[in-house]
């Protein structure tokens, strides 16, 4: 049985949040602090939601159930905490890209069959979230040099803890310079791909690669493609890019 099958992640998160809220005051911590920590747990655990509605359900399940129970004795400002926490984890200007879609652990294991990189080659995970993409890339290229950019500073901090061997910084992937990287890895949304193509076409050096998990760049002809262990396609594009047949330059 898959323990991450919906709705088990939500139920476990809500249960754990209620335990935090009930037990921490018994350890002489304030109810407001217990509430804040319980809400923070819900927001962090949104990584286990496969879709945006499920992520929101995990995040707001505890505070909503507490409100409906009528048992909360909290100052009015405390109810703003869930909103603030979601804003910290998922900044509004990052929602147009990918709020948080973790890369499956073995999604990139076939990359070396198509792309050979020298030892020490710099790989960028653009929008690295909690670092799952960096971990998957390291399985494929253990001798590479890994870099990550993440807009959300809490996620950036957690990714740095999970991937101490990578250089991860907080920033905007669309303003960062991609020219120093032999490979730029993306797991975005279809709506983000035209912007990624335009940036990669302008900045990637000849022979360097843009790799996209699951989502194809419709305006380009793929240099190659692979299939991850979970069956998702991985699209590979080598600079200089070739326009897709039938599209005007």
Per-residue pLDDT at 73 exceeds 60: yes
Per-residue pLDDT at 72 exceeds 60: yes
Give mean pLDDT, residues 28-53: 81
Cα–Cα dist 110/7, whole Å: 31
pTM over 0.75: no
Cα–Cα dist 207/13, whole Å: 45
DSSP state of 240: S
Cα–Cα dist 41/33, whole Å: 12
* CATH architecture for the domain at 111-243: 3-Layer(aba) Sandwich (3.40)
Q: How confident is the model over 127-143, as pLDDT tens digits?
A: 998 899 999 999 999 99
- Report residue 164 as tokens: 């101490």
Q: How confident is the model over 84-112, as pLDDT tens digits?
A: 666 655 554 454 545 556 888 899 999 99
Bridging pattern class, strands 145-150 and 122-126:
parallel
pLDDT at 76: 61
Give 209's strand partners: 183, 238
Q: How many residues does the chain have?
A: 249
Domain range annotation of the chain: 8-89, 111-243
pLDDT at 92: 47
- In terms of Cα–Cα distance, which of 203, 202, 129 is closest to 166? 129
pLDDT at 79: 62
pLDDT at 40: 84
Give 184's strand partners: 124, 210
pLDDT at 1: 44
Per-residue pLDDT at 244 exceeds 80: yes
- In terms of Cα–Cα distance, which of 148, 157, 218, 154 is closest to 186? 148
Residue pair 210/196 in contact (Cβ under 8 Å)? The answer is yes
DSSP state of 26: G
Cα–Cα dist 35/74, whole Å: 9
Four-point Cα dihedral 94, 100, 101, 102, nearest 10? 130
- In this prediction, residue 181 has a pLDDT band, given cuts at 50, 70 and 90, of very high
């Amino acid at each position: 049985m898959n323990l991450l099958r919906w709705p088990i992640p939500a139920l476990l998160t809500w249960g754990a949040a209620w335990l935090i809220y009930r037990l921490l005051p018994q350890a002489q911590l304030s109810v407001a602090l217990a509430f804040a920590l319980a809400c923070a747990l819900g927001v962090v655990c949104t990584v286990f939601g496969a879709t945006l509605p499920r992520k929101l359900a995990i995040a707001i399940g505890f505070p909503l159930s507490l409100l409906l129970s009528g048992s909360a004795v909290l100052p009015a400002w405390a109810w703003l905490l869930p909103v603030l926490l979601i804003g910290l984890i998922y900044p509004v200007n990052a929602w147009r890209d990918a709020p948080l879609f973790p890369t499956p652990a073995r999604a990139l294991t076939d990359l070396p069959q198509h792309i050979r990189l020298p030892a020490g080659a710099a790989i960028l995970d653009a929008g690295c979230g909690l670092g799952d993409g960096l971990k998957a890339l390291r399985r494929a290229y253990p001798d590479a040099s890994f870099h990550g950019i993440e807009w959300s500073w809490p996620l950036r901090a957690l990714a740095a803890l999970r991937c101490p061997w990578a250089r991860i910084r907080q920033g905007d992937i669309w303003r960062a310079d991609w020219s120093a990287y032999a490979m730029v890895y993306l797991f975005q949304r279809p709506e983000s791909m035209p912007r990624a193509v335009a940036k990669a076409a302008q900045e990637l050096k000849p022979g360097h690669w843009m790799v996209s998990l699951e989502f194809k760049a419709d305006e380009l002809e793929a240099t190659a493609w692979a299939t991850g262990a979970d069956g998702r396609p991985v699209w590979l594009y080598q600079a200089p890019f070739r326009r897709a047949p039938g599209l005007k330059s």
